[in-house]
Amino acid sequence: MENNPEFTFSKLRFDPRFVKQLPADPIKDNHRRQVASACFSYVNPTPVSSPQLIAYSKELAEQLELSASDCQSDLFTQIFAGNQLLSDMTPYAQCYGGHQFGHWAGQLGDGRAINLGEVTNSAGEHHILQLKGAGATPYSRTADGLAVLRSSVREFICSEAMYHLGVPTTRALSLVTTGEEVVRDMFYDGNPKPEPGAIVCRVSPSFLRFGSYEIFAAQDDTETLKKLVDYTIETDFSHLGKPSRDIYLQWFDEVCQRTVEMIVHWMRVGFVHGVMNTDNMSVLGLTIDYGPYGWLDNYDPNWTPNTTDATNRRYRYGQQAQIAQWNLVQLANAIYPLIEDAESLGQSINDYAHEYASQLEAMRAAKLGLKAYQVDDANLVSELHKVLQLVETDMTLFYRGLADLSTETQYQTDEQLLSAISDAYYVEDQLTLDNKAAICQWLRQYQQRIRQDGTYDIERKVAMNKVNPKYVFRNYLAQIAADKAEQGDFSLVNELLEVFRYPYDEQPDKAQYAVKRPDWARERAGCSMLSCSS
């Protein structure tokens, strides 16, 4: 049966909309080049020597209507290592450009990503299956198109962890090692070394980015730009209606709104993307391209996980909303030739800012267990952010612990107040008398605010624990999992995958994954900051 891929994977119904409806690069040869007036180039994955399946996502497999036996078969491994294609697969790499760190970078494209094909399940849900690290494409420039196990472990687990956290995201179906080594200079410091290679199968309704439209605007190719925008609306925004100038405006407005929702979720869970270039921004408002991302351990709005961004901190945690807005301006500039109405496009940009402020307030109220955000809560929130930076404070543990604070007990000592959040502090010596007094002053202000709402503690705790996760994919956990995987031990990859399926649950037997970053990880490579090549 395994020798008959059409039978084994018969539920994978391919529907190659992208390659059928959009202009292709006429050159079929796989060599690096500039591509004009084309949305993609045909290219096949590069076969690998000894692929081995490390893990797969149960939920995503079920959504694609793949059985457990399908996913555990050798055929599955061969397909998602790029060694075997089903007859209906039409592999291709997308063409796009982008602004990187605020500067136009020209043509970029899928340099190490190859789309195997597009599938539709019985519910009518459409998904693109994409291999990351499956070899060179016409867009690889001087790179090899490969990926290392270290970064692939990070991307695979984080994609699924974000999904279960309720953050809009692309997904990851499988993680496969290739049996081959890939040379990487992890920190661009002149010390390259061979590392195990791996491939992640990423899954999304679309992998179109802001840069997908920018490239044609930069080439003054309005015809192809229009074809791509029309295709986008017809396939992923069909509820808006038939493409027209007014519908283009509605589409852009919805892209802005979806971007708001994504960024608010990032801020809620303490996620920092690290490289918010326009080629890494999805028009569906999905988190895409998990490179040098990171999770806030201690609350620091100026923290960036990207070594390339260490000087200017353009993509720091506290600036992600502003950068998203800047990126939306670039998308607006790109589609302007189709609309020629700067005022309406500008209104959508302004609406983005207002909607972000509104949703951010609602999110902050939910994290604090408030029934609704009130005008006077601005002071409560601003004072909280000051308090969180007085002492090195773990953001995730602080909010989770705050849910345990009693607001129904009228008289509590400072020590009683601090006991609920004591696990969140990294450096005990920073808890001076003055800092303790400031923290307790805020806690009493918070208690009073909860009493105004008339919310019982048990009710508040349930509500807060639904939005404040107990488990997040901390950088040091990613590094430990990658280290073990490089030694051939994949147990932690699978265990963490299971833990992050239920990030809001207590999971007492997994409590070791819900603790502060250990001291050894404070400055260790991979546990604090990473480069774009990671």
Q: Rg of the chain over CA atoms, in angstroms?
A: 24
- Alpha-helix runs per DSSP H in 279-376: 320-339, 342-367
Query: Terminal CA-to-CA distance of the chain, rounded, Å?
Result: 39
CA 504 from chain centre, in angstroms, equals: 18
Would you state the structure tokens that stand for residue 210, as one six-digit string? 């802001």
CA pair distance 251, 283, nearest whole angstrom: 10
- 3-class SS at 200? strand
In this structure, the number of other CB atoms found within 10 A of the CB of residue 144 comes to 16
Among residues 131, 9, 4, the alpha carbon closest in space to that of 69 is found at 9
CA 298 from chain centre, in angstroms, equals: 20
**Nearest 5°: CA angle at 468, between 466 and 471?**
105
Would you state the structure tokens that stand for residue 197, as one six-digit string? 């290679």
Would you state the structure tokens that stand for residue 66, as one six-digit string? 């793949």
Indicate if the alpha-carbon torsion angle 513, 391, 322, 101 is positive or negative.
negative
Q: Measure the CA dihedral 449/455/458/460, to 10°.
A: -60
- Provide the annotated active-site residues: 279
Dmax (CA) for the chain in angstroms is: 76
Would you state the structure tokens that stand for residue 120, as one six-digit string? 């539709």
- Alpha-helix runs per DSSP H in 219-282: 222-236, 245-269
216, amino acid identity: F
Q: How far is CA 202 from CA 29, 63, 124, in A?
A: 25, 14, 19
Among residues 197, 28, 173, 49, the alpha carbon closest in space to that of 112 is found at 197
Q: Is 285 exposed, middle or buried (0-12, 13-18, 19+ CB in 10 A)?
A: buried
**Nearest 5°: CA angle at 281, between 280 and 285?**
140
Q: Measure the CA dihedral 507/511/512/516, to 10°.
A: 130
CA pair distance 474, 518, nearest whole angstrom: 11
Could you tell me if residue 507 is left (phi over 0), alpha (psi between -120 and 50 degrees) or otherwise beta?
Answer: left
Would you state the structure tokens that stand for residue 339, as one six-digit string? 């609309």
